[in-house]
Amino acid sequence: MRLIQAGCSRIIVVGLTLMMGLWSVMAQAMTTDEALKALSGRDFTAKKEAITTIAASGEPYAADLFTALDNGELFFRKSDELMVIRQGETFVNLTDKQAVAGDSSDFKRVAMNNALRRQIAELSAQLALNDPNADKRLSAVKSMLGKVADSDRAALIAHQQKETDAKVLAAYDMVISFSKLLDSDAAVRLSAVEALSEVHNPEVVGQLKSVAQNDADAKVKVAAAAAVKKLERSQSFYSGIETLYFGISLGSILVLAGIGLAITFGVMGVINMAHGEMMMLGAYTTFVMQKLLPNEPGIALLLSIPAAFCVSGLVGIVIERSVIRFLYGRPLETLLATFGISLLLQQAVRSIFSPLNQSVVMPSWMSGTWVWNDFLSLTLNRMFIILFSLLVFAGLMWLLKRSRLGLEVRAVSQNRAMARNMGVRSDWVNARTFGLGSGIAGIAGVALSQLTNVGPNLGQGYIIDSFMVVVFGGVGNLWGTLVAGLSLGIANKLLEPYAGAVLAKILILVAIILFIQKRPRGLFPQRGRAVEG
């Protein structure tokens, strides 16, 4: 009897062993389709195996699946367990990214726990390090800075040996050297300090400061202090370049805002307080164009440039023909009249578009930054605005120097009576000049829509700055407007870190007042009628 019992026990043990081995083989042989099905269940052990299977499969949707899981946006359809990703109010197929019909009640979120989240984080990092896109690999390596333990360093070095891109290799060196700063061997820490002394990264500077203060080895502390001093000099240099860049970008906006005012003020002697509202109309034109072309923000922005010029220019001509032409020679009355017009335009916009600010979508080719190193990154939208303002300035200079309108404008600005005697219709020159200045203001509004929200008060923040640019540069002189706009923008950004934004503007205003006391006609005084007056 005992022999029979022993034999049965052996049979049961062998049977269980065979079943476990068969289950192990089946688990190892799990297909990606089976893995996706397993994710819809409640067995977290099976989900763990499924996630591992999908990560090892090399499927292109693996990264999207992990991201959706981590964000709680991975669902499955109840009827057939189809995996989908929720994007706003719609659901798309995980594998082919096609929209899936059905409402929210037809889908159920894939359940997760903390263990699975940790596993996904590790596997996502592995996928990113093996991504065919070098930029994604670079971002993945940089994200590991300060997070690599001694036990993980060997695996990271193994990944580095497979890398071919120079930038990614440099990032590997930075991350690995950073981890060596906490090594128990002083020689290793010293070599890490020497390697990091050439790395331009704020986190590296912070860690080297800690090493310089707290390291137990004197040689390491001295080397770290020297590296910090060297990197801080580089950081100050690149910070200066960034400040200069922001100053030039602000100056280019001031040039765009003031260049139209310089034309009308210089030729007509009109103090146009509605100039800011011409910029506002240009910004709202951009908003309307994007509403008409909702899926093409880049094309909408390009079309907004001529559209804004026409809209603001026509409004400017209407204002000149209906109000301003009766007030020539009375600057105080033109100031009051145009101030009233500015209030009317603001209220009209509030009535049509509502008093709330409107957002304008930035095209993909204007978004993002141009990264030189971790100490210096320049935003692309400001770079495009700088180039755009220079193009507008060059185009306006060509128009005034080479066209008939430009010839008549220069003639009227220098001697109105003589120009009239030569057959120039000064009234129409005034109208076209005012329309040109207003159109340029509309183009400035297009540029501003890429930097700030569009609202009824958009132009109010730039009207005073525009007058400062015109007066400082010289009334009616475009080169003076360019130099003055860029100078004021750079000066403002240089003062802001020390005095603050508000006090910096006050100091600049005081400096301009003192300058005008010495040179009443600005940097580049106009010749002709302006001098005679």
In a domain, 347, yes or no: yes
47 and 151 co-located in one domain: no
Region of poorest pLDDT, from 84-88, 126-130, 254-258, 464-468: 126-130
List, as one string, the DSSP characters of 307-342: HHHHHHHHHHHHHHHHTGGG-TT-HHHHHHHHHHHH
**What pLDDT shows up at residue 6?**
44
**What one-character DSSP code corresponds to residue 361?**
P
443 and 319 co-located in one domain: yes
pLDDT class of 277 with cuts at 50, 70, 90: very high
364 and 255 co-located in one domain: yes
Reported as a single tens digit per residue, the pLDDT across 430-485 is 888 889 889 999 999 999 898 888 999 888 888 888 888 888 888 777 888 899 99
Task: Encode 50-102 in three state secondary structure.
Answer: HHHHHHHHCCCCHHHHHHHHHHCCEEEECCCCCEEEEECCEEEECCCCCECCC
111, containing H or E segment? none
In a domain, 200, yes or no: yes
Reported as a single tens digit per residue, the pLDDT across 471-529 is 888 877 788 889 999 999 999 998 988 888 788 888 988 998 898 888 888 888 766 44
173/410: higher pLDDT: 173
Indicate the residue among 460, 489, 508 that finishes a domain.
Answer: 460
In a domain, 362, yes or no: yes
In a domain, 401, yes or no: yes
110 and 180 co-located in one domain: no
Is 375 in a helix, a strand, or coil? coil
Amino acid at residue number 513: I
Structural domain for 121, as ranges? 31-130
Burial class (CB in 10 A: 0-12, 13-18, 19+), 12: exposed
List, as one string, the DSSP characters of 153-177: HHHHHHHHHH---HHHHHHHHHHHH
pLDDT, averaged across the chain: 82
In a domain, 146, yes or no: yes
Sign, Cα dihedral of 429, 431, 434, 437: negative
**What pLDDT shows up at residue 165?**
86
In a domain, 468, yes or no: no
Mean pLDDT of 200-215: 89
Residue pair 435/317 in contact (Cβ under 8 Å)? The answer is: yes
106 and 52 co-located in one domain: yes
Instruction: Mark residue 97 as left, alpha or beta (left: phi above 0; alpha: psi -120 to 50; beta: remaining).
Output: left
198 and 300 co-located in one domain: no
In a domain, 480, yes or no: no
307 and 413 co-located in one domain: yes
Mean pLDDT of 170-194: 88
**What pLDDT shows up at residue 125?**
67
175 and 314 co-located in one domain: no
Output the six-digit token pair for 183.
């090594």
Indicate the residue among 429, 460, 491 that finishes a domain.
Answer: 460
Output the six-digit token pair for 410.
């220069």
In a domain, 481, yes or no: no
Instruction: Mark residue 431 as left, alpha or beta (left: phi above 0; alpha: psi -120 to 50; beta: remaining).
Output: alpha
25, containing H or E segment? helix 2-28
323 and 448 co-located in one domain: yes
Reported as a single tens digit per residue, the pLDDT across 142-165 is 877 877 777 667 777 887 888 888
Region of poorest pLDDT, from 17-26, 40-49, 227-236, 449-458: 17-26
16 and 115 co-located in one domain: no
pLDDT class of 1 with cuts at 50, 70, 90: very low
Residue 532 has pLDDT above 50, yes or no: no
* Number of residues that make up the chain: 533
88 and 42 co-located in one domain: yes
Between CA 217 and CA 215 the distance in angstroms is 6
Between CA 484 and CA 319 the distance in angstroms is 28
15 and 63 co-located in one domain: no
Structural domain count, the chain = 4
**What pLDDT shows up at residue 341?**
93
**What one-character DSSP code corresponds to residue 358?**
B
353/131: higher pLDDT: 353
Amino acid at residue number 50: A
Residue 26 has pLDDT above 70, yes or no: no
Between CA 364 and CA 384 the distance in angstroms is 12
Indicate the residue among 460, 491, 524 that finishes a domain.
Answer: 460
